[in-house]
C-alpha cells in the first residue's frame, strides 16, 4: 500500500493538488532532470495522483521537492492528466496558499524553484498571492491559421513558462460557459494547425475577447495540453498576454491589466522589463487560492486502477 499526503485547493476556480509527502523518489539534480526521470520511469505516480478515479482531467498536480537553489523555500514540479508543465501560475498560487495552510509560511516573499527557473511569490497579509513569473516573451507575431468553416485567425506565439498561441475571437463566439464545447473544439483545431505549421512546441491555446465585467480588460478561454479548459484566467497565459501587449507597445511597464476567466474570476497583472531590447518581460500575477481538502491518497496494488485510468 502506497500513501500520499495531499492538499487540494483552487485558484480562481482552477484546482491544484499539492503532494506534500509520499510522492515518487526522483533523486537529486536539476528539476528538469528529475522531470525526465519521473516521466521515463515513474510516470504511473503522475497518473495515480491526477487521473481518474482519484482525479479528473482538469486537475493540476504539484510535487513539493528539495530545491537545488538553496535560496528557494521549495522546489515544485507541476503535472496534469497528460504530462508535465514547465510552470503553472495558478498552481504556484495554490502551492503558496497550501504552505500557508500547513503553517509553513507567513506573509512575505519566498522563492520557488521550477523546472524552467525560479519564481518569486509574495503572500500578502490579506491572503492574496503575487507571483513573479519567469522571463516571458512574444516568440512570433501574426501567425495565420485558416480553418474550415471557421475561417482565418491571426494570433501570436509566446513563451511564459509554457508555450501559447493567443488569438482574438471577437464577439461572434462569446467566451461563456454555455459555449465551452464549441470553444474547446475551436482551440483544439487551432493548436493542431499551429503545431503542424511550424510551432510544434505550442501546447496551450488562449482565445481572448473584450472583458464582460466592469474594470476588466480582457476575458480569456485557455485550453490546456490535455484538452481541459482552465477555469482561472491562467497565470502563464496571462503572462503570455502581457508579453504580447508589451511587444506591441499596448501596455506600459507597471500598468495593471485585469484578466477575466471564462468563469468571470480575475487575476491582476503587470510587468517590468527584463530585457527591453529583446522584448522580454518579468510578469507579476496576483490572485487568491482557497484550500478545500487535506487528505491521503491510498494506492492498493489489488485495485485494477491503482495507478489511475491512463490514456
Q: Note the pLDDT tens digit of each residue in 165-176.
A: 999 998 779 999
pLDDT at residue 116 above 90?
yes
pLDDT at residue 311 above 80?
no
**Would you state the pLDDT for residue 165?**
98
Percent of the chain with pLDDT over 90: 97
Rg (CA), the chain: 19
Q: Which of 65, 72, 224, 234 is catalytic?
A: 234
Q: What is the mean pLDDT of residues 130-134?
A: 97
Name 228's Cβ contacts closer than 8 Å, sequence gap at least 6.
56, 57, 58, 80, 81
3-state secondary structure of 93: helix
Rounded to a whole number of angstroms, the distance between the first and last alpha carbons of the chain is 23
Give the pTM: 0.96
**Would you state the pLDDT for residue 293?**
97
**Would you state the pLDDT for residue 302?**
95
**Would you state the pLDDT for residue 152?**
94
The verdict on whether 88 is a catalytic residue reads yes
Q: Note the pLDDT tens digit of each residue in 60-87.
A: 999 999 999 999 999 999 999 999 999 9
pLDDT at residue 97 above 80?
yes
pLDDT tier, 268 (very low <50, low <70, confident <90, very high otherwise):
very high
Percent of the chain with pLDDT over 70: 100
**Would you state the pLDDT for residue 171?**
76
Q: What is the mean pLDDT of residues 230-238?
A: 98
**Would you state the pLDDT for residue 127?**
96
Q: What is the mean pLDDT of residues 3-31?
A: 97
Q: What is the mean pLDDT of residues 277-297?
A: 97
Query: How far apart are alpha carbons 73 and 65 in whole angstroms?
Result: 10
Q: Note the pLDDT tens digit of each residue in 198-231.
A: 999 999 999 999 999 899 999 999 999 999 999 9
Query: Which among 158, 177, 178 is positioned nearest to 166, based on CA atoms?
Result: 158
Name 158's Cβ contacts closer than 8 Å, sequence gap at least 6.
136, 137, 138, 139, 164, 166, 240, 241, 243, 244
**Would you state the pLDDT for residue 81?**
95
With contact defined as beta carbons under 8 Å apart, do 110 and 156 qualify? no
Q: What is the mean pLDDT of residues 53-59?
A: 96
Q: Which of 72, 88, 224, 244 is catalytic?
A: 88
Name 141's Cβ contacts closer than 8 Å, sequence gap at least 6.
156, 244, 247, 248
CA 109 to chain centre: 20
Query: Which among 287, 286, 282 is positioned nearest to 119, based on CA atoms?
Result: 282
The verdict on whether 244 is a catalytic residue reads no
**Would you state the pLDDT for residue 170?**
82
Name 201's Cβ contacts closer than 8 Å, sequence gap at least 6.
163
pLDDT at residue 295 above 90?
yes
Query: Which among 71, 135, 97, 146 is positioned nearest to 287, based on CA atoms?
Result: 97
Amino acid at each position: 500500500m502506497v500513501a500520499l499526503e495531499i492538499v487540494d485547493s483552487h485558484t480562481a476556480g482552477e484546482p491544484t493538488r499539492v503532494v506534500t509527502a509520499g510522492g515518487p523518489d526522483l533523486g537529486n539534480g536539476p528539476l528538469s532532470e528529475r522531470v525526465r526521470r519521473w516521466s521515463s520511469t515513474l510516470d504511473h505516480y503522475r497518473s495515480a495522483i491526477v487521473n481518474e478515479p482519484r482525479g479528473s482531467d482538469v486537475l493540476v498536480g504539484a510535487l513539493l521537492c528539495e530545491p537545488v537553489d538553496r535560496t528557494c523555500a521549495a522546489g515544485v514540479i507541476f503535472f496534469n492528466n497528460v504530462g508535465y508543465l514547465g510552470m503553472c501560475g495558478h498552481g504556484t498560487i495554490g502551492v503558496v496558499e497550501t504552505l500557508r495552510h500547513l503553517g509553513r509560511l507567513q506573509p512575505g516573499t519566498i522563492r520557488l524553484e521550477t523546472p524552467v527557473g525560479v519564481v518569486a511569490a509574495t503572500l500578502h497579509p490579506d491572503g492574496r498571492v503575487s507571483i513573479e513569473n519567469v522571463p516571458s516573451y512574444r516568440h512570433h507575431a501574426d501567425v495565420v491559421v485558416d480553418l474550415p468553416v471557421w475561417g482565418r485567425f491571426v494570433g501570436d506565439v509566446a513563451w511564459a513558462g509554457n508555450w501559447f498561441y493567443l488569438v482574438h475571437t471577437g464577439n461572434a463566439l462569446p467566451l461563456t460557459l454555455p459555449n465551452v464545447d464549441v470553444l474547446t473544439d475551436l482551440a483544439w483545431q487551432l493548436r493542431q494547425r499551429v503545431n503542424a505549421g511550424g510551432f510544434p512546441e505550442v501546447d496551450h491555446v488562449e482565445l481572448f475577447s473584450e472583458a464582460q465585467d466592469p474594470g476588466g480588460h480582457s476575458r480569456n478561454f485557455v485550453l490546456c495540453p490535455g484538452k481541459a479548459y482552465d477555469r482561472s484566467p491562467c497565470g502563464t497565459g496571462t503572462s503570455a498576454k502581457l508579453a504580447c501587449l508589451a511587444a506591441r507597445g499596448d501596455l506600459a511597464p507597471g500598468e495593471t491589466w485585469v484578466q477575466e476567466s471564462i468563469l468571470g474570476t480575475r487575476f491582476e497583472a503587470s510587468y517590468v522589463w527584463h530585457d527591453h531590447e529583446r522584448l522580454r518581460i518579468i510578469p507579476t500575477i496576483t490572485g487568491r487560492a482557497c484550500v478545500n481538502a487535506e487528505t491521503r491518497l491510498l494506492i492498493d496494488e489489488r485495485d485494477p486502477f491503482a495507478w489511475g485510468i491512463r490514456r
